[in-house]
């Protein structure tokens, strides 16, 4: 998916960089080996990129121009329609928009508009990331009960941040595809909150 | 002892825990975090920040780590039982950087352990994709 798109468009001075927000390279390895990417395919076990870009769920995609400027902030785009029946998000339109931008047929967002579409991290969001970071360190140092306190606290502080709430599940021995995830997602939906927050023109 | 995790690096320093407070000596603060107190300001190698009004850090006693974090405008997660703390990134700093629209730079490894830096892609359009196996 992202690999095919990269191969299709790489002649246009374009690169795809994927970042796996997984607890270990081994968790991401089967997916990466299956995709055999020729673009940089990176592993971010400490959520460095998530912290810098205020990434709160996956997938999250951004467009960055040749000068290193964000011209399309955090959006939710799937490379295929495999999960369309669950997510309600189609890939065709956002991928067509991406192709047009890469080929130089369209521009990204102007700065004012790009800023108006950004969601910036709050003090509570950053406190949540610190709690997650401490939980992660404690878990890696054999103190799972202590780690749990901080993962729970992080989720309370930033209930919309699923890189924390779902991303911590494999570290905590919870199934991120199973009942704990479904209970969390259903409770969030029952509270009237969206699990995915795409940009308005992706949502359609 | 206390483990301070800052910017992905863990350092052990001498510290005293009093209730839910973590108290450091000026030496431990310098060793652990690289900050020193100078007449109402906190300084490291590259910058100085003023202490907030009413900060106890200026009193000359043990340094409350929560007040240090507050002065630096950074979040602090504390586990007094395990004697470990995590100093996170300032919300204001993160928000200001994103608002500038200059893509924050990072260096991360691939599966083979090769490091890649985002800024090395200048001159190309980049599609940055965060994903996970979960």
| ipTM value greater than 0.90 | yes
| Residue B115 pLDDT | 98
Residues 6+ away with beta carbon under 8 Å from A40: A15, A16, A17, A18, B110, B116
A89 close to B (CB below 8 A): no
| pLDDT single digits (tens) A167-177 | 999 999 999 99
Reported as a pLDDT band with limits 50, 70 and 90, residue A71 is very high
Length of chain B: 134
> Is the pLDDT reported for residue B42 higher than 80?
yes
Question: CA of A160: how far to CAs of A75, A177, A189, A194, in Å?
Answer: 15, 18, 11, 9
Separation of alpha carbons B27 and B76, rounded Å: 20
In chain A, the percentage of residues whose pLDDT exceeds 70 is 100
| pLDDT single digits (tens) B56-110 | 998 888 999 999 999 999 999 999 999 999 999 999 999 999 999 999 999 999 9
Mean of all residue pLDDT scores within chain A: 97
The beta-carbon neighbor of B79 closest among A19, A33, A146 is A146
Identify each DSSP E strand in chain B by its residue range: 2-6, 9-13, 16-18, 21-24, 36-38, 41-43, 48-50, 63-64, 76-79, 84-87, 107-109, 115-117, 125-131
Separation of alpha carbons B63 and B76, rounded Å: 14
A64 close to B (CB below 8 A): yes
| pLDDT single digits (tens) A99-140 | 999 999 999 999 999 999 999 999 999 999 999 999 999 999
A2-9 and A92-102 helices cross at what angle (nearest 10)?
A: 30
Mean of all residue pLDDT scores within chain B: 95
Closest CA of chain A from B79, distance in Å: 8
> Is the pLDDT reported for residue B33 higher than 80?
yes
Q: Which residue has the tokens 């483990």?
A: B3
Max CA distance (Å), chain B: 53
Residue among A83, A30, A50 nearest A163 (CA): A50
> Is the pLDDT reported for residue B112 higher than 80?
yes
Nearest residue of A to residue B95 by CA position?
A120
| Residue B58 pLDDT | 87
Record the tokens describing residue A74, joined without a space.
């955090």
For B9, the 3-state DSSP assignment is strand
Separation of alpha carbons A95 and A4, rounded Å: 12
Domain boundaries along the sequence of chain B: 2-91
In chain B, the percentage of residues whose pLDDT exceeds 90 is 88
Separation of alpha carbons B91 and A127, rounded Å: 9
With contact defined as beta carbons under 8 Å apart, do A99 and A25 qualify?
Answer: no
Span B113-125, average pLDDT = 98
| Residue B7 pLDDT | 86
Nearest residue of B to residue A167 by CA position?
B134
Reported pTM:
0.96
Taken in order A147, A152, A157, A158, the sign of the CA dihedral is positive
| Residue A96 pLDDT | 96
Question: CA of A101: how far to CAs of A39, A106, A185, B125, B126, in Å?
Answer: 19, 5, 34, 9, 11
Torsion of CA B103, B107, B108, B113, to 10 degrees: 150
In chain A, the percentage of residues whose pLDDT exceeds 90 is 93
What does the buried/exposed string (b/e) look like for A12-21 if buried means 16 or more CB atoms within 10 Å of the residue's CB?
eebbbbbbbb
Whether B102 sits inside 8 A of A70 (CB atoms) is yes
Separation of alpha carbons B103 and B83, rounded Å: 35
The beta-carbon neighbor of B129 closest among A2, A50, A101 is A2
């Amino acid at each position: 998916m992202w690999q095919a798109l990269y191969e299709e468009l790489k002649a246009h001075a374009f690169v795809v960089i994927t970042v796996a927000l997984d607890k270990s390279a081994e968790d991401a390895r089967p997916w990466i080996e299956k995709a055999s990417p020729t673009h940089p395919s990176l592993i971010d076990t400490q959520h460095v990129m998530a912290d810098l870009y205020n990434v709160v769920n996956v997938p999250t995609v951004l467009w960055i121009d040749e000068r290193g400027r964000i011209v399309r902030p955090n959006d939710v785009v799937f490379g295929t329609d495999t999960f369309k029946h669950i997510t309600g998000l189609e890939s065709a339109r956002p991928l067509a928009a991406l192709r047009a931008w890469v080929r130089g047929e369209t521009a990204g967002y102007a700065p004012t508009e790009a800023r108006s579409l950004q969601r910036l991290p709050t003090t509570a969001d950053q406190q949540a990331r610190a709690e997650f970071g401490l939980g992660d360190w404690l878990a890696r140092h054999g103190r799972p009960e202590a780690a749990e306190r901080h993962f729970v606290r992080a989720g309370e502080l930033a209930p919309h941040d699923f890189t924390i709430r779902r991303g911590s599940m494999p570290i905590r021995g919870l199934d991120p595809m199973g009942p704990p995830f479904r209970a969390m997602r259903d409770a969030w939906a029952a509270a009237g909150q969206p699990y995915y927050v795409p940009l308005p023109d992706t949502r359609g | 002892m206390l483990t301070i995790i800052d910017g992905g690096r863990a350092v052990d320093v001498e510290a005293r825990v009093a209730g839910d407070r973590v108290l450091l000596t000026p030496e431990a603060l310098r060793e652990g975090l690289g900050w020193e107190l100078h007449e109402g300001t906190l300084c490291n190698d590259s910058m100085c920040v003023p202490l907030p009004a009413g900060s106890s850090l200026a009193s000359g006693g043990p340094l409350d780590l929560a007040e240090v974090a507050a002065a630096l405008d950074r979040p602090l997660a504390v586990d007094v039982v395990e004697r470990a703390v995590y100093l996170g990134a300032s919300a204001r700093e993160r928000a200001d950087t994103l608002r500038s629209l200059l893509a924050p730079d990072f260096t991360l490894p691939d599966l083979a352990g090769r490091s890649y830096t985002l800024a090395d892609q200048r001159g190309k359009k980049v599609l940055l994709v965060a994903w996970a196996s979960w």
